[in-house]
Amino acid sequence: MSRKKMAQAVLLVLFLGACSLTQPFVDRRREAGMTGAGLYVGASKTDAPVVCYNGWVTDFEEVQKMADEECVKHNTGTSASLENEDRFSCRLFTPTYAKFQCVR
């Protein structure tokens, strides 16, 4: 296989794989082996969810819905109110960081 075809194949695989990397997510990770207050790491708290997303492929309504669901799931509020947004604070393909506050 020529170098040009190999490069094209690699780029195609990376491009297709990047589609799954742009899905929004709540920035909450578990610390292995921890319990209690040290259980979660990351910016998201139970009463202040943080959602990382890519504004080119994700509507803000979907991000808002994810934050609302986090508030209801942790019984800290009925909806989420946007506090601030920051660009280039999350991962490469999901660069926008949206911080919410749970409200009743």
* Count of CA atoms in the C-beta half-sphere (13 A) of 82: 14
pLDDT reading at 34 higher than 70: no
Summarize pLDDT for 43-74 with one digit per residue, the tens. 667 788 889 899 888 899 999 999 999 899 88
The sign one gets for the Cα dihedral 85, 88, 92, 93 is positive
**Distance between terminal CA atoms of the chain?**
61
Cβ-Cβ contacts under 8 Å for 44 (sequence gap 6 or more): 26, 27, 28, 50, 51, 70
pLDDT confidence of residue 97 = 87
Give the CA dihedral 22, 83, 27, 72, nearest 10 degrees: -110
Evaluate if residue 30 carries a pLDDT over 70. Answer: no
